[in-house]
Amino acid sequence: MGELKNLREQQENLVSKARETNRKLYLAGLGAYSKAENSSSELLDKYVQTGSDKLGEKAEGKPKALLAGRGLVEAAREAVDNAPSKREELYNRFVKVGSEKRGEQAESTNEYLLAGLGAVATAREEGEKFINELISAGEQQRG
């Protein structure tokens, strides 16, 4: 009889965890939709403004889509121009995090291994942070 009780408790625990996971996934989805809706209009406005700035007086009377396209091209150029320094910055960040994770053993560890360890740790941390932000946004959206 004790085994049956344990099985029932395990089953209830599993169902409870599944419900909580389902609730979090629902809220994260709702939060993602809300964030996408808000950020897409902000991004469009930013690209339109950048396109207008680049075209100057020629921007007057141009369609919003054309201005946004010009702004997107400028943003892509900037991203390409900044890629080498961003890549180096990210690599150094990963090495630092990997070194922190390895502690005293970091000095005798290959730099690429430290960078890999740091990348995994950073991805895990940033992923958790992102999901929690989405859940929070979903809770706010839901009211």
Mean pLDDT to the nearest integer, 59-85: 93
Mean pLDDT to the nearest integer, 110-136: 95
Structural domain count, the chain: 1
Residue 59, pLDDT > 70, answer yes
Residue 1, pLDDT > 70, answer no
Classify residue 2: in a domain, yes or no. Answer: no
What confidence score (pLDDT) does residue 130 get?
Answer: 94
What confidence score (pLDDT) does residue 135 get?
Answer: 93
**Residue 68 lies in domain:** 41-142
pTM above 0.75, yes or no: no
CA pair distance 140, 27, nearest whole angstrom: 9
Classify residue 45: in a domain, yes or no. Answer: yes
Amino acid in position 85? S
Burial label for 141, CB within 10 Å (0-12, 13-18, 19+), is middle
Classify residue 23: in a domain, yes or no. Answer: no
Classify residue 58: in a domain, yes or no. Answer: yes
Classify residue 138: in a domain, yes or no. Answer: yes
Classify residue 74: in a domain, yes or no. Answer: yes
What confidence score (pLDDT) does residue 6 get?
Answer: 87
